Amino acid sequence: MTDQYAVIGNPIGHTKSPMIHGTFAQTTGQDIEYTAIEGPLDGFAGAVLAFRDAGGRGMNVTAPFKLQAFELATDRLERAELAGATNALKFEGDRIYADNFDGVGLVNDITRNLGVSMKGARVLLLGAGGAVRGALKPFLSQEPSALVLANRKPEKAQDLVKQFDHPALTSLEFNELVGQQFDIVVNATSASLKAELPAVPAEVFIRAKLAYELAYGKGLTPFLRLAKNAGVPQLADGVGMLVEQAAEAFAWWRGVRPDTRALIERMTIPLV
């Protein structure tokens, strides 16, 4: 019998997940069907339980339901607990397991696909939302010399520093970044979704090896353009993270990890 999986979000028409997981299933020989579900804003839990009760084995969760999925889960793995949100569910009997693969997907893309080591690096992470929360433990596990958070509302970044309590983790306000330099700069703010530039000074890129934009498919965003003009040799958007987190979820569900490189290359658009 073909196993059923799905992604749930609202809106969901833009999702690449069915294509990604369909490709994974084809290349690994897994018999699955993967669909997209537009969950009602006032009926998320009911939609998830209906899918499970109809035989569904697992779901990816995207905006705006990652917090609701976390609350719905009966069992939360450590990454989900630390992030306070989940992007993947697995159903086993009456148990709903939750994990969060966003952070590990991002680290895999940076270190494996882009070949940039985070060990001993000074890393600047812009933002303090769910994506950042999910990224902190995977980032810290790479042993950077410094991981600095900067956010439009500095108290949110400060709260994360207190929560994770790691000697490499600090926060700065945007105006305090003047004079600071980093090896890796990651934009996890929503600015690029509005074609806006986060309030980051160009000098943070002076010695940077990589500027990474979590948004994908937007081309050369204002953030990436600033980095390019500052001479950063390697620019990337979030398509690799998207595929890598999907591969982690697929492996969690199916016990086999698909190759990601060919699919990332196929989905990547030029950053011009």
Catalytic sites, residue numbers: 66
Token look-up 């812009």 returns 126
Token look-up 């926060």 returns 171
* Best CA proximity match to 228, nearest among 208, 242, 245: 208
Peptide bond into 64 cis (omega under 30): yes
- The secondary structure of 35-95, three-state, reads EEEECCCCCHHHHHHHHHHCCEEEEEECCCCHHHHHHHCCEECHHHHHHCCCCEEEEECCE
Do residues 32 and 3 touch, judged by C-beta distance below 8 A? Answer: yes
Do residues 271 and 211 touch, judged by C-beta distance below 8 A? Answer: no
